[in-house]
Amino acid sequence: MTPGARLEKLIRDTATLLLPERLRKWIRAQQRRYRLQSVPVGSVDFGGLRRLSPISAVFGQDRDLLTIERYYIEQFLARHSADIKGRVLEMGDPGYTRKFGGDKVTREDVLHYVEGNPQATIVADLTDAPHIADDSFDCIIITQTLQMIYEVDKAIATLHRILKPGGVVLCTSHGMSRVARREGVDDWGEYWHFTSQSKKRLFGAVFGAENVEVAAVGNVFTCICNLHGLGASEVDALELETHDPNYELLLLVRAVKAGVPDG
């Protein structure tokens, strides 16, 4: 966010707090009447963004190995790398377990929904997985997965059940993103895009609100870039690191199972 944009936001937020609604509506009416907007109506240059198809139709994977979503996911996991230890479960493949857990991990497991993944050590539906023992894992990494599960509350209950006391779930999910559904092609679809409020309630109902931390990342610009499939390297660091709670690109959850860890 540029200094000018930050100042404009500060003035707007201050006015919202201090001025009565009737006066704010009058000011907005004058802006429209006399074209006093900071960016006048009709003056926006959309450039290469003025198109009806995305710049990348595959989430930016053809532009940059580090997509905007992956940039935020890896930052989140790096911040909580101390949690990735002991016996760790990850969805799909063990890439993040190895990258951020390293030699702190004593056993790695991979869960996949259907047979056929050679890296999977467990085949299970998280909404109904009685064959996974209670209190099994010190950490569960579940990135960009919950939106693919219709009965998401049951999946969160399973995550809680199979964690050891003191164990941690590190979860990321879509907020504002293109839809990744492939129902009818794969055995999964995309059913939900979340908000920080929904994540707090969903995880808090199972783990206890005091054991759940939820953060949202993104801003209007990174949301637009992500929708177009631009790579992280195409966006300035300051733009990536500016987070606006009104534009939740990704939701990041750290949830701890109550109880005393073994040892």
Please check whether residue 262 lies inside any domain of the structure: no
What does the block give as tokens for 143?
A: 């990135």
Please give the pLDDT value at position 33. Answer: 79
Same domain membership, residue 247 and residue 134 = yes
pLDDT of 10 strictly over 90: no
Same domain membership, residue 79 and residue 169 = yes
Query: 243 and 217 in contact (C-beta within 8 Å)?
Result: yes
SS3 247: coil
Pairing of strands 163-174, 250-256: antiparallel
Please give the pLDDT value at position 139. Answer: 98
Same domain membership, residue 37 and residue 59 = no
Full-model pTM: 0.86
Same domain membership, residue 153 and residue 243 = yes
Separation of alpha carbons 37 and 16, rounded Å: 16
Please check whether residue 81 lies inside any domain of the structure: yes
Question: What proportion of the chain, given as a percentage, has pLDDT over 70?
Answer: 95
Please check whether residue 152 lies inside any domain of the structure: yes
**Can you say whether the dihedral through the CA atoms of 109, 58, 197, 17 is positive or negative?**
positive
Tell which of 43, 58, 77 closes a domain: 43
Same domain membership, residue 112 and residue 212 = yes
The arithmetic mean of pLDDT across residues 70-74, rounded, is 97
Tell which of 43, 61, 76 closes a domain: 43
Same domain membership, residue 59 and residue 119 = yes
**How many domains is the chain built from?**
2
Please give the pLDDT value at position 1. Answer: 58
Please check whether residue 209 lies inside any domain of the structure: yes
| DSSP secondary structure code for residue 66 in this structure | S
Residue that wins the pLDDT comparison between 204 and 182: 204
Nearest to 149 by CA among 178, 114, 191: 191
Q: What is the span of the domain harbouring residue 246?
A: 45-256
Cα→Cα distances 192→2, 43, 128, 149, 215, Å: 33, 36, 19, 8, 17
What does the block give as tokens for 175?
A: 């907020």
Same domain membership, residue 10 and residue 103 = no
Query: 250 and 72 in contact (C-beta within 8 Å)?
Result: yes
What does the block give as tokens for 161?
A: 């059940």
Please give the pLDDT value at position 61. Answer: 82
Same domain membership, residue 11 and residue 94 = no
Please check whether residue 129 lies inside any domain of the structure: yes
Least confidently predicted of 54-68, 131-145, 242-256 = 54-68
Residues in the chain, total:
263
**How many other β-carbons are positioned within 10 Å of the β-carbon of residue 116?**
9
| DSSP secondary structure code for residue 35 in this structure | T
At CA 141, angle to CA 137 and CA 147, rounded to 5?
125
Same domain membership, residue 139 and residue 91 = yes
Please check whether residue 221 lies inside any domain of the structure: yes
**Which helix (H) or strand (E) element contains residue 75?**
helix 68-79
Residue tagged 């992500």 (tokens): 226
What does the block give as tokens for 201?
A: 């309630």
The arithmetic mean of pLDDT across residues 40-58, rounded, is 86
Please give the pLDDT value at position 63. Answer: 87
Same domain membership, residue 160 and residue 37 = no
**How many Å separate Cα 31 from the centre of its chain?**
36
pLDDT of 100 strictly over 60: yes
Please give the pLDDT value at position 35. Answer: 76
Which CATH number goes with the domain that contains 67?
Answer: 3.40.50.150
Same domain membership, residue 50 and residue 35 = no
Q: Give the range with max mean pLDDT: 24-28, 52-56, 150-154.
A: 150-154
pLDDT of 186 strictly over 80: no
What does the block give as tokens for 131?
A: 């064959």
Predicted confidence band at 184 (pLDDT cuts at 50, 70, 90)? Answer: low
Same domain membership, residue 173 and residue 71 = yes
SS3 16: helix
Please check whether residue 261 lies inside any domain of the structure: no
Please check whether residue 154 lies inside any domain of the structure: yes
